[in-house]
A and B are shown apart, each in its own frame.
Chain A
Amino acid sequence: MSDILDKYKWMGPIIQKMDRDIKRIFMKNFRMRDKNFFPEGDYKADVKNLVNCMLCPNMCRFDCGTLQAANSETMSPAYKARIGYYLTIGKIDPLDPSNKEFIDLMYKCSNEESCKVWCPFEFSVVSLLETVRDDLNDKGVMPDYCKEQIKKLKKTNTIEDHNIYETYKEKGIENIETDGKDDVYYYIGCESMKFPEVVKANIEILKKAGVKFSTNLEKKVCCGGPAFNIRDLKIAKELANKNKELIENTGAKVVVSDCPGCIETLSTRYQKAGIEIDVKFIHIVQYIKDLIDNGKINFEREIPSEYKKVAIHDPCLLARNLNDTESIRAILNKVPGIEIIEPIYNKQYTHCCGWSGTVHWAEKNIAIKEATNRINELKETGASVFISACPECELGLAYGISENDKEKIKIIDVSELLMKVI
């Protein structure tokens, strides 16, 4: 109540001047505000902010990845919030099977949080939708495509049908078991296992720089990011605890990962779930940048001509959640002879690959369209090598490349580029 009073301080004189009858009605509306529109109930949804969002003129719509992909009001941020509100207060019944599409809408976010950049309330829509998902889960109406992921997480500890970490041998990835005295733990993301060249490059770079580190692929499990998105906090916490043990066993004080999503989950999301791990979590680009700055990595080779002109695709989680847009640039700027071309939407204003949230399960075509939109923005730079630092981006963006462009366009990780010059 006190924050509301503060915000509307300028209304003081106005209220004083009101005639008596109107003042009475106004005060009643003020008192009854919660009861009228934020009724108490057995829900976790953040109804106040859902209302703030649903009554906003969609001021972030121009930058919302799913809306720009779908080109439909249905996908607009304020409408998502509106449906979230109606599902919460029961105006739309989540238990009625004919309302499945309204429930699905609660998962049609790509989590890039571009909305938050522009939002006058400084929230992201997905952060509100997650609170609606909590209630949907409590009511037992989690969509099947989410249940599917949870099933996989339970069965394989990853979001694949098999434990993807077990494939390391066939992919030629070296496993380095910890002796409990590591300086660094290289935390390989599940999705990164689909890009063995990236993992191998990172291992090679860390070795070249003489870092004492481990990978522990035999015991490795998913960070739980997908479970946090789906809001199955039980399985998310189980995975978090496994990770805590794994990390603590290495003795490392620094955990680096090739996946910004893993870093975000291991640090911020674990903390919110009450799981504290007393180490520093950083994306590997930041660590590599420091290694270069400290003279631990030297550039020894000419950059091959086909990699001379590159465009940077900032992964949204790295740029906006981990607030690091400089490391990639600092590394690339040191590469002799390279020309970096920035896309129009870059750094904190980067656009999503489509693969970061839950929309790629809920409506894959929208995620693919987001990827296509992003590829088109990157193509506009005139470069045909796109540098990223996130396995999800590399996975997602690949869906956006047309058959014609498949030969021409290369999407590679910073580490892969580095391997060509060090």
Chain B
Amino acid sequence: MNLENFELIYKENRVKIKDKAKIKSKLGEIVGNENVSDKEIDILAYNKDTTLITLNWTLEGKIAALPDFIVWPETPEQISSILRLANEEKIPVIPFSEGSGVVGGAIPIYGGIILDMKKFNKILEINDKDLTVTCEAGINGMNLERYLNAKGYTGGHIPQSLYTSSVGGWIAHRAAGQFSSKYGKIEDIVMGMELVLPQGDIIKFKTIARASTGPQLDKLFIGNEGTLGIVTKATLKIWPYPEKRALISYAFPTFEDSLEATRQILRQQIYPAVIRIYDADETNRHFGHIEKAKDKVMVVFVCEGIERLVDLEETITRETCEKNNGIYCGEAPVEHWFETRFKVTETSSTPTFKIVADTIEIGFLWDKAADMYHSVIEATKKIQGVMMMTAHVSHFYPNGVGFYFTFAGIPPKEKTDFEFYQEVWNCVVKTVLDMGGTISHHHGIGLNRAQWMPVEWGKSFDTLKSIKKLLDPNNILNPGKVYESAWKEGGRN
């Protein structure tokens, strides 16, 4: 057995399956033997998602966790039967789509059955009049978007992980795309859903523009992180492919100026699809070649839609930036952003220098946004080993913003990678919570943030936990995430 050569991080508290052969054969009866595997080559492939510290583990030959089985269902009925079997046998089931989650949501920490949703990959219908697309939930985001583009539409949900994430994963994590100021976040985009509940019931939320039919239960499942139900199908909003795009960029002397300009733009109900503010460090990193932006704060905007509207949005955006000391930098920085936005290379290099890095995206109201940014930067820079703590502001609302911090560092001698990682996270989260922000804007809670849920939610967390208990009394569906704190590195936490 090869996998003994690898250090397994989550090896305690694994589910004990008495008769693996029996379970495998029962799973085979449900999905067909070709759609079940317990082969080493397959279970190793599903040991983790894209949580950044797990990349360091991968390079060092460590395995985050090992599932016992992988199943590839093709229908909601099969999922239902798998969940009924799992409830009878008390085996965890972990939904898995494209594995781009960055909070450990799809890591099978107690073993069990990985339920890969990739075969739910069909686009079922585009309705031009209603402006909707209905698709199966496992479809890859880029394959959906390319299809829509070819038919003259856009889905408007373009996360940086578009190439490597799925509709089901977006819904599971309440994801947010880069064009979200115009098109909304995933919760604004989902119009209808089909799900399988933890005990196997299949439920549907009908596609409707709005309803007043009691509490909107569907919202409970947007952000459920594969713990309350498995999304099998979704109807999403779509839009005619934009007629025009205006690319605008400004460099601001201070971070405050940039925040003020963007706040005023939104206050006038102008919604550029993309707005991104890069602090001075990130400006130097990403736009080092733009002379006018050196040591300043770069802001890029994309306005898109019908030409007359775009022209107006562009005029007001530019006027507002100029009023707030912005220096016009033209289209080139935005073109550069378009060219590089999916070119992810850092994840490949940092682990080879034994750098511990992560991204932390958090949400704040406008009132304290600038203070919060400075507080996080100051607090974390005091931690020994932090080489870099920078931020961009990636999501905007008339009332607040989403910040995206990136840190990288080297643990001092007396600390493990994990201890260092945890220290930085604790520091950011404490600062954010003390100042009244939220600990996640769009990556979700998963495994590594669950530890702060009681503070984030306060008393209402008990209500959430009761709902989990009601829907999943045996704690079968994605245990160890969201509601309980199980984050660790092999006995060293």
> Does A pair with B?
yes
- Whether B42 pairs with A37 at a CB distance below 8 angstroms is no
Min CB gap A101→B, angstroms: 5
Which positions 436-453 of chain B face chain A at CB distance < 8 Å? none
Among the listed stretches A58-66, A203-211, A271-279, A294-302, which one makes contact with chain B, having 4 or more residues with CB under 8 Å of it?
A58-66
- Whether A120 pairs with B345 at a CB distance below 8 angstroms is yes
- Whether A71 pairs with B59 at a CB distance below 8 angstroms is no
Q: Does any Cβ of A come within 8 Å of B217's Cβ?
A: no
Q: Does any Cβ of A come within 8 Å of B235's Cβ?
A: no
- Whether B354 pairs with A105 at a CB distance below 8 angstroms is no
Bound complex: CA A51 to CA B61 (Å)? 12
- Whether A18 pairs with B387 at a CB distance below 8 angstroms is yes
Residues of chain A lying within 8 A (CB to CB) of residue B237: none
Bound complex: CA A92 to CA B44 (Å)? 12
Residues of chain A lying within 8 A (CB to CB) of residue B164: 57-59, 61-62
Residues of chain B lying within 8 A (CB to CB) of residue A105: 41
Q: Does any Cβ of B come within 8 Å of A421's Cβ?
A: no
Known: A55-B58, A344-B150. A21 touches B288 (CB 8 A): no
Residues of chain A lying within 8 A (CB to CB) of residue B2: 92-93, 96, 98-99, 102
Bound complex: CA A59 to CA B348 (Å)? 12
- Whether A37 pairs with B59 at a CB distance below 8 angstroms is yes
Who on chain A is nearest to B140 by CB?
A62
Residues of chain A lying within 8 A (CB to CB) of residue B355: 29
Known: A14-B387, A57-B344. A73 touches B61 (CB 8 A): no
Which of under 10, 10 to 19, 20 to 34, or 35 or more describes the interface residues of B? 35 or more
Task: Mark interface residues in B404-433 (1 if CB within 8 Å of A CB, else 0).
Answer: 000001101100000000000000000000
- Whether A56 pairs with B412 at a CB distance below 8 angstroms is no
Min CB gap A186→B, angstroms: 37
Q: Does any Cβ of B come within 8 Å of A195's Cβ?
A: no
Total residues of chain A contacting the partner, CB 8 A: 51
Bound complex: CA A21 to CA B50 (Å)? 30
Q: Does any Cβ of B come within 8 Å of A36's Cβ?
A: yes
* Majority DSSP secondary structure for residues of A touching B: helix
Among the listed stretches A74-82, A237-245, A390-398, which one makes contact with chain B, having 4 or more residues with CB under 8 Å of it?
A74-82
Which positions 236-273 of chain B face chain A at CB distance < 8 Å? none
Who on chain A is nearest to B343 by CB?
A120
- Whether A19 pairs with B347 at a CB distance below 8 angstroms is no
- Whether A19 pairs with B45 at a CB distance below 8 angstroms is no
Who on chain B is nearest to A122 by CB?
B343
- Whether A56 pairs with B116 at a CB distance below 8 angstroms is no
- Whether A92 pairs with B99 at a CB distance below 8 angstroms is no
Q: Does any Cβ of A come within 8 Å of B206's Cβ?
A: no
Bound complex: CA A315 to CA B106 (Å)? 37
Known: A37-B59, A55-B58, A120-B343. A72 touches B410 (CB 8 A): no
Residues of chain A lying within 8 A (CB to CB) of residue B410: 22, 25-26, 29
Residues of chain B lying within 8 A (CB to CB) of residue A43: none
Known: A22-B410, A22-B412, A37-B352. A55 touches B347 (CB 8 A): yes
Residues of chain B lying within 8 A (CB to CB) of residue A36: 352, 354
B61, B116, B351: the one contacting A55 at CB < 8 Å is B351
Bound complex: CA A227 to CA B318 (Å)? 60
Among the listed stretches B141-149, B170-178, B480-488, which one makes contact with chain A, having 4 or more residues with CB under 8 Å of it?
B141-149
Residues of chain B lying within 8 A (CB to CB) of residue A154: none
Bound complex: CA A282 to CA B116 (Å)? 44
Q: Does any Cβ of B come within 8 Å of A147's Cβ?
A: no
Known: A57-B347, A62-B143. A71 touches B352 (CB 8 A): no
Who on chain A is nearest to B70 by CB?
A72
Bound complex: CA A22 to CA B2 (Å)? 36
Q: Does any Cβ of A come within 8 Å of B342's Cβ?
A: yes
Residues of chain B lying within 8 A (CB to CB) of residue A92: 2, 5
Which positions 87-106 of chain B face chain A at CB distance < 8 Å? 96, 98-100
* Majority DSSP secondary structure for residues of B touching A: mixed
Q: Does any Cβ of A come within 8 Å of B82's Cβ?
A: no
Who on chain B is nearest to A76 by CB?
B45
Task: Mark interface residues in A16-49 (1 if CB within 8 Å of B CB, else 0).
Answer: 0111011001100110010011000000000000
Residues of chain A lying within 8 A (CB to CB) of residue B61: 86, 91
Min CB gap B156→A, angstroms: 18
Residues of chain A lying within 8 A (CB to CB) of residue B96: 73
Who on chain A is nearest to B96 by CB?
A73
Min CB gap B58→A, angstroms: 7
Residues of chain B lying within 8 A (CB to CB) of residue A120: 342-345
Bound complex: CA A52 to CA B351 (Å)? 10
Known: A57-B164, A72-B45. A26 touches B143 (CB 8 A): no
Known: A25-B413, A99-B2. A71 touches B147 (CB 8 A): no
- Whether B59 pairs with A51 at a CB distance below 8 angstroms is yes
Task: Mark interface residues in A87-107 (1 if CB within 8 Å of B CB, else 0).
Answer: 000011100101101100100
Residues of chain A lying within 8 A (CB to CB) of residue B6: 91
- Whether A71 pairs with B121 at a CB distance below 8 angstroms is yes
B58, B161, B163, B413: the one contacting A21 at CB < 8 Å is B413
Q: Does any Cβ of A come within 8 Å of B384's Cβ?
A: yes
Q: Does any Cβ of B come within 8 Å of A332's Cβ?
A: no
Q: Does any Cβ of A come within 8 Å of B385's Cβ?
A: yes
Min CB gap B160→A, angstroms: 9
B1, B42, B347: the one contacting A72 at CB < 8 Å is B42
Min CB gap A422→B, angstroms: 33
Min CB gap A71→B, angstroms: 4
Bound complex: CA A115 to CA B165 (Å)? 16
Bound complex: CA A190 to CA B45 (Å)? 37
Residues of chain A lying within 8 A (CB to CB) of residue B69: none
- Whether B150 pairs with A62 at a CB distance below 8 angstroms is no
Known: A52-B345, A91-B61. A74 touches B163 (CB 8 A): no
Residues of chain B lying within 8 A (CB to CB) of residue A15: 387
Min CB gap A256→B, angstroms: 33
- Whether B146 pairs with A344 at a CB distance below 8 angstroms is yes
Which positions 47-101 of chain B face chain A at CB distance < 8 Å? 50, 55, 58-59, 61, 70, 72, 96, 98-100
Q: Can you spell out 13 A-B residue pairs with CB atoms less than 8 angstroms apart?
A: A14-B388, A18-B387, A22-B385, A25-B413, A26-B387, A26-B410, A52-B345, A54-B58, A57-B161, A58-B98, A72-B118, A91-B5, A91-B61
Which residue numbers of B lie inside 8 Å of A, CB to CB?
Answer: 1-2, 5-6, 39-42, 45-46, 50, 55, 58-59, 61, 70, 72, 96, 98-100, 116, 118-119, 121, 140-143, 146-147, 150, 161, 163-164, 284-285, 288, 342-345, 347-349, 351-355, 384-385, 387-388, 409-410, 412-413
* Nearest 6 CB-CB pairings of A with B: A120-B343, A71-B118, A73-B45, A55-B348, A62-B142, A52-B348
Can you add 12 more A-B contacts, CB < 8 Å, to A21-B413, A56-B348? A10-B285, A30-B353, A33-B353, A37-B59, A55-B347, A56-B344, A58-B100, A61-B163, A62-B140, A91-B6, A98-B1, A118-B163
